[in-house]
Structures are given as structure tokens and as C-alpha cells.
Amino acid sequence: MQTDLKQLEISETALQTLTGVPRTLSRSSNARSQEDRKLLKFTIVAASIAALIALLSSLCYFVPNFRIPAAVFAFCLLFGASCLAMEMAELALIGFAFALAAGAYAIYTLTAVSLQIVLLSVAIAGAMALGVAVLIQVIPLGFSKNRNYGNPKPSRSLARLYGEVDKYNKVIRDIHVFDQLEAAGNPIRLHDRESVLSALKITHGDLVRALKTEKILRENPDFNPEQFAIDLNAFHAIQVSEQAGEYGQFFDTTMQIAIAVQKTMRDLQKHP
């Protein structure tokens, strides 16, 4: 890679120096965030199923006439769901239709049941759902806390900045490929190259400043910043034709990175 591009690139070593957080830790933190979202969805589904089973079971125990329609409802619902999973739409519709009829009849059998029994069954179902949700959440979180004890937790702002750094470095790599194509004899005009490099230098400074700012605020959580701003006027002062030049797309991408960094800096002000 040419010297001018190499100097602009933000290496992994430089990133760790600027942030004080290993890149691998940030990636594992993002992976854990995705796992947490999956765990939440699983918790909701599991708690709902547990509540339904507990509700049906308690009603069957208190109301003998409810047992047969409840069993038919559960069987037809399971049958319809299985057919739907196997893409057997006709059989799935039949199963759901029978489940709907059985459910309606099951509700009809409850019209003669006292309100106390219904409320008791609902309370049992709620307690079962809450217990399942607590078990699903507490046990994995306990292992997670023990596994990550003592490790700093990268912020969302840092994760976004890492993404912008990746985009920024890709622009530099693309320009290097562009230079190689030109050196190979391809008819490429280079009159916009210096303008793009000027924009990249501005973005490099903004990224470094944003990374340092995030680290300082992360290490000083009690500090409340009043104002952050990144002046984009310097970009507009660079005379570049975004449509005519081959480097126009690189310049546009660099502008978008600068705007994203500016937004992240403002977010740091609100949520350090």
C-alpha cells in the first residue's frame, strides 16, 4: 500500500491504543447482545407456553367437563402447527378450524364456572409463566457474570465507531486497488484523488477524536459533557465533483462516515 494511504489507515493496534478495549472483546460483546435478544424471545415464547399449559391443566382439574374440549383443542392446535411447519396448508387449516371449534366449546363449558375458579387458574398460569421466565433469565445470566467478571463492557457508541472505522479503512483499501488499476495501464483519471485524501484526513482526525472521547467518557461515567460538535464545513470547502470523478463515490462514503461519527459524538453527550 502506498505511503500516503498507509498513514491514513487506522490499524487494529492503533484502535486498541485509542480505546483501551481489545477488538475481540467488542465483537464478543456484540455477539452477547444478539444472544441476549434471542434469549429474551425464547423467554417470552417459553413463558407463554408454560402459562397456557398451566391454565389448561388447572381448569381441567377444577372443571371435569372442560377436559375433553381442552384436550381436543390442544391436539388440534399442535396438529395444525405441525402441518404448517411441513408446509401442508390444507391440513393445517383443518387442524386450526377444529382447534377453534374445540376452543369455542371449551369456553362455553366455562360459562357455568365460578369466577373464583377462573381467577385462581389465571393466577396459577401467571405464577408458572413468571417462574419459567425467571429460571430462563437467571441461570444463563449467572454463568455470564462469572465468565465476564472483571472485563470492561464496551459501549454501544464504541461498537458504532468500530463500524465506521471499518468503513473508513475499506475506503482506503478501495483507493489502493484503484491506484493499482491505474498503474496497470487502465484509463483512469486521477484528478479527484487529492480531494478524497483531504476528506479522509479530516475523517481520520474526527474518528480519532471520537474514539478518544468515548474512552474518556467510559472511564469517567460521572462526567456530563455539555456539547460536542464536528465541523463538516471543511468537507464542503473541498472542491470535488461527486458525479464526474471516479473518486466521487469514495468522497461520498467518507462524508457519510463523518456524519455518522458526528451523530455518535452527539449520542455520547446524551448517553455516555
d(C-alpha 176, C-alpha 121), whole Å: 69
This prediction's pTM: 0.50
Q: Tell me the C-alpha distance between 68 and 60, whole Å.
A: 9
Cell digits for 64? 371435569
The number of helix segments (H) and strand segments (E) in the chain equals 10, 0
pLDDT, tens digit (0-9, with 9 covering 90-100), for 10-62? 888 888 888 887 776 555 555 555 666 777 888 888 888 888 888 888 888 88
Q: Are 217 and 223 in contact, with CB atoms under 8 Å apart?
A: yes
Query: How does pLDDT run across 96-154, given as a tens digit for each residue?
Result: 999 899 889 888 888 888 888 888 888 988 898 888 888 877 775 554 444 444 444 55
pLDDT of residue 251: 60
Q: Which residues contact 229 (CB under 8 A, 6 or more apart)?
A: 262, 265
**Amino acid, single-letter form, for residue 145:** K
Helix ranges (H only) for the chain are 3-8, 12-19, 23-62, 67-85, 89-109, 115-147, 156-183, 193-219, 233-237, 248-270
User: What residue has cell string 464478543?
Assistant: 28
Cα–chain-centroid distance for residue 53? 32
| Residue 239 clears pLDDT 70, i.e. is over it | no
272, three cell numbers = 455516555
What is the distance between the alpha carbons of residues 57 and 73, in angstroms, rounded to a whole number?
Answer: 13
C-alpha cell recorded at residue 144: 455470564
Q: What is the Cα–Cα distance from 261 to 264, expressed in whole angstroms? A: 5
